Amino acid sequence: MYYLKKTIEISGAHQLQLDYPSKCTGLHGHNWTITVYCRAEQLDRNGMIIDFAEIKRLVADPLDHRVLNDVLPCNPTAENLARWCCEQVPHCYRVDVQESSGNVATYETDVC
């Protein structure tokens, strides 16, 4: 099994829809760190699982300097952002999203 990890930094804003009072229901931003993990049993004809630049194109390009509410089809929590990123990248099985220092959400799937 082959594995790769790509870490991306983006700046993005979001406004959470919550059923309790929170300052996070107001529009605010973060410098997010997103770590994408991919795996495959076989490499492609170029000797890669997926090109690192392709991961950046699929994840960072749609999100960087954007309002995440306009990109994600759901409440843009760190957990939902992790799942969305995982679904964008072929061979991705895990994504860690660091919203701020000490606050990390992880989405992991068993599908390779």
Query: For residues 105 and 99, is the Cβ–Cβ distance under 8 A?
Result: yes
Each residue's pLDDT tens digit, 23-60: 989 999 999 999 999 999 999 999 999 999 999 999 99
Task: Note down the domain range covering 50.
Answer: 2-108
Instruction: Indicate the number of domains in the chain.
Output: 1
What sign does the dihedral 88-39-93-100 (CA atoms) show? negative
Average pLDDT over the chain, rounded to an integer: 96
* pLDDT above 90: residue 13: yes
**Buried b vs exposed e over 11-45: b needs ≥16 C-beta within 10 Å?**
ebebebeeeeeeeeeeeeebebbbbbbbebeeeee
What is the pTM assigned to this prediction? 0.93
Q: What is the CATH number of the domain that holds 19?
A: 3.30.479.10
26 to 13, 21, 82, 111: CA distances (angstroms):
10, 10, 21, 35
